[in-house]
Structure 1
Amino acid sequence: MPKPSRISPRYPEANTIHLVLDNLSTHSRHALEVRYGVRAGRRLWLRFTLHYTPVHGSWLNQAEVEISLLSRQCLGKRRIPTLDKLRCETQAWQKWANRHRIRIRWRFTVPKARAKFHYQPTDFTRS
């Protein structure tokens, strides 16, 4: 979980703060209570409304796709000698990709997803 003790004070007037998280086990009330103590952890937990990403389609998968594209299209097999040069190269690639509106063509269709995850429609899902 992002540092709740840093997020919460930024929004003092908010009754609840919405967070989108993956399904990591550290994203729980128990983890906050262990880290900050039972009272402080519970108080932090009550400030947040958590929205978990789907296990099979999380933002992490999207980030991995982006990093893979960056690696193949921008860096290739080159060794970048300095961090400054790496920043320059990746920023130039990002500008190029945005300017050309590079998109990912998903080939995982609904029928393929249903087959992969052994989807069986129930009576109330058929219409």
Structure 2
Amino acid sequence: MIPPEGSAEFVAAMERVLDVYRRPYDGANPVVCMDETPRQLIRETRSPLLPGPGRVQRHDYEYERCGVCNVFMATEPLAETRMTKVTDRKTKIDWAQFLQDIAERYADAERITLIMDNLNTHRPGALYEAFPPDQAKALWDRFEFIYTPKHGSWLNVAEIELNVMISQCLNRRIDTIAQLREQVSAWQEHRDQLQAKVNWQFTTQDARIKLKRLYPTFNA
């Protein structure tokens, strides 16, 4: 959702993100986008009716809720790769541990630019809640944090990847976290093999034209 009124804070954060997307590929300084989505685990209460000629598979409207879990997504758009992690919860500690996973994935990088939503769990303090001070500071130093503006999650390429994953992999009833992990892992491997990518085209100049109403105005 884009804010209905002009916002200097919004456009400043937006242009910061768009500037980062203009950077050329640099293996030593990768640009990685991160996001997460909660998923409800659902069990069938009756066996689905199998598909037949001219008939799709049908599911009973009744189902059993089996709890919730969380899926983290990190994607490097210019490298056409992504990494996922399914966790029981979506806490500061879970986020900090996922950042550690990203840092290990890019162990040879000098610094990782991380684009993410401006959530209260996405803060450096979470690293100090998850790790001893020296380890937390060393991990923090591996990253440059870039936050999308409030109401600007659409600027995060990882959100696009999550939506693709949901439509291709999680658009059905899955009742255990183990099964969900298996499906997400298989989807990630397949998408990486395809070298699928998000072709981001929106630029700062586009924003200043198409989203002109969000920019402060000045009297001549």
**TM-score, normalised to structure 1's length?**
0.51
Aligned to 1:18: 141
Question: What is the percentage of aligned positions where both structures have the same residue?
Answer: 32
Instruction: Determine which structure has more spread, i.e. the larger CA radius of gyration.
Output: 1
State whether residues 70 and 93 of structure 1, in contact with CA within 8 Å, keep that contact through their aligned partners in structure 2.
yes
Q: Which of 198, 207, 212 matches 1:104?
A: 198
Structure with greater proportional helix content:
1
- Higher relative CO (Cα under 8 Å, sequence separation at least 6) belongs to 2
Work out the CA distance in 2 between the residues paired with 1:7 and 1:66. 32
Do residues 65 (structure 1) and 160 (structure 2) align? yes
State whether residues 19 and 51 of structure 1, in contact with CA within 8 Å, keep that contact through their aligned partners in structure 2.
no
Unpaired segments of 5 or more residues in structure 2?
A: 1-122
Aligned to 1:8: 133
After TM superposition, give the deviation of residue 104 of structure 1 in Å. 0.8
Work out the CA distance in 2 between the residues paired with 1:66 and 1:7. 32
Flag as ranges the 4+ runs of structure 1 deviating above 6 A. 56-60
Unpaired segments of 5 or more residues in structure 1?
A: 21-49, 121-127
Work out the CA distance in 1 between the residues paired with 2:168 and 2:127. 33
What are the within-5 Å matches in structure 2 for residues 1-127 of structure 1?
Answer: 1=123, 2-5=126-129, 6=131, 8-10=133-135, 17-18=140-141, 20=143, 51-55=145-149, 61-76=156-171, 78-118=172-212
After TM superposition, give the deviation of residue 93 of structure 1 in Å. 0.2
Work out the CA distance in 2 between the residues paired with 1:74 and 1:84. 14
Partner amino acid, structure 2, of 1:10: Q
Work out the CA distance in 1 between the residues paired with 2:203 and 2:134. 43
Q: Deviations over 1:28-79 (max 9, x none)?
A: xxxxxxxxxxxxxxxxxxxxxx744353877982332221111011122x10
Partner amino acid, structure 2, of 1:18: D
Q: Aligned-residue CA RMSD in angstroms? A: 3.6
Matched residue SS, 1:103: coil
